Amino acid sequence: MFQLVTGALGLFVALHLWPLLPASLLVRILSCICIGVISQHHFLTKLAFGTMFSAEVPRFVVIGVNVLFATLVFAAVLFLALDLLRLIVAVVRRAWIPLPLVAGWGVLGVALVLGVIGVVSAIAQPAVRRVDIPIANLAERFDGYRIVQLTDLHLSRLFQAPWATELVLRTNALAPDAILITGDLIDGTLEARARDVAPLADLQAADGVFVVSGNHEYYFNHDRWMAHYAGLGMTVLHNEHVVLGGPAAGLVLAGVPDRSAHRFGLSGPDLGAALRGAPKGLPVILLNHQPADAHLSAQAGVDLHLSGHTHGGMIRGLDALIARFNDGFVSGLYRLGDTALYVNNGTALWPGFSVRLGVPSELTVFTLVRA
């Protein structure tokens, strides 16, 4: 289905470009072939590497392909808008207006500029975003407690070891009490990504680094990756919890695996199991990669549910569509009764479509305060 959609976008753009290109049939055919290749680069990546989620090619190639694919997407949207405008004019004037040459090339120029800006924004280091979270029954020692959330790092040929090293330095400089990572750390096998994830071993927080799986861990041998994260010094929370600060005046930190686990024959999220045996009356923070289960968290009395997965929608306007596939949640802070849900825009992005316009990546710092 994904390839059909991208193929349709490519065909739509090619049909609009055909009359704008030089009269040479060879030039037109070659141009359309190039458009077809760009529109199907995910499929071609899967043919070459066995998965569309990890193109093991030089970084500059990944960046170039992202710019071209983003340009294709933006061109399709702009051509569609132009067609609708021409249709309105045609209805009023009762005459169809051919696409002016300058308008067609103008669309391509604008699309290319948007593509470049979007990719450059996507691959930059995330900006620090600070959020205060009021929590009832928060012990005095946790008033002002600082949590850094990382999510959707998608370490890959696009986000490599140098990028990860800089991220770690910036994270540690925030002096967090705890670092919580809500999945999708990688795109690629352990053999391909070991060097890129190695800097994460240097993450430092007073109470430790905690991690749950995202859907992308399952695409590349979930169990091996989670064991490797543990070897990097992270505490893996797989339907389990830890108590920070002791059972009398502490904080429950729970985590569940991604809901895609069932597709791979593995145990999926079980919030009941994750909270089983947790001291009553203590505030609960839950790590869950996808936000769609937030209503279950609210029913279970979770105080703060942290998710990622949506990338914030990536592009302003596209966020409304992404929200429809995630139970209405896409970016930022939501309230579900006494439960706060925070959907992170993501620390980085999947290298298959790394574009951000109006939805910046974020390095999120939560400060817990007594309600």
Beta bridge partners of 148: 179, 365
**What's the token pair of residue 187?**
């795109």
197 and 285 fall within a common domain: yes
Cα separation, 54 vs 219, in Å, equals: 10
Q: Are 51 and 155 in the same domain? A: no
List the domain range (segments joined by +) for residue 231.
126-370
Q: Are 351 and 61 in contact (CB under 8 A)?
A: no
Enter the DSSP assignment of 258. -
Q: 137 with 266, same domain? A: yes
For residue 36, give the H/E element and its range: helix 25-39
Token pair belonging to 95: 């005459």
**Which residues, 6+ apart, have CB-to-CB distance to 94 below 8 Å?**
none
Give the pLDDT of residue 5: 85
The pLDDT value recorded for residue 345 is 98
Q: Sign (positive/negative) of CA torsion 212, 217, 223, 229? A: negative
Of how many residues is the chain composed? 371
Paired tokens of 274: 């994750």
Among 348, 343, 321, smallest CA distance to 73 is for: 321
Domain closes at, from 98, 122, 146: 122
Same domain assignment for residues 144 and 50: no
For residue 212, how many C-alpha atoms fall within 13 Å in the half-sphere facing its CB?
35
Q: Do residues 166 and 249 both lie within one domain?
A: yes
Residues 116 and 139 in one domain: no
Whole-angstrom Cα distance, residue 305 to residue 332?
12
Per-residue pLDDT of the chain (371 residues; tens, 9 = 90+): 788 889 888 899 988 888 888 878 888 889 889 999 999 999 999 999 999 999 999 999 999 999 999 999 999 999 999 989 888 888 888 778 787 888 889 999 999 999 999 999 999 999 999 999 999 999 999 999 999 999 999 999 999 999 999 999 999 999 999 999 999 999 999 999 999 999 999 999 999 999 999 999 999 999 999 999 999 999 999 999 999 998 878 999 999 999 999 999 999 999 999 999 999 999 999 999 999 999 999 999 999 999 999 999 999 999 899 999 999 999 999 999 999 999 999 999 999 999 999 999 999 999 999 98
Q: How many domains does the chain have?
A: 2
Q: Which among 122, 154, 174 is the end of a domain?
A: 122
Q: Are residues 131 and 252 in the same domain?
A: yes
Token pair of 309 as six digits: 């997965």
- Find the CATH number of the domain harbouring 350: 3.60.21.10
Whether residues 201 and 315 fall in one domain? yes
Say if residue 157 is in the same domain as residue 248: yes
26 and 161 in a single domain? The answer is: no
Q: Are residues 305 and 193 in the same domain?
A: yes
Degrees to nearest 5, angle at CA 36 with 31 and 41? 125
Same domain (yes/no): 137, 277: yes
**Amino acid code (one letter) for 59:** R
Last residue of a domain, which of 63, 93, 122? 122
As given in the structure block, the two tokens for residue 269 are 């999220």
> How much is the pLDDT for 10?
86
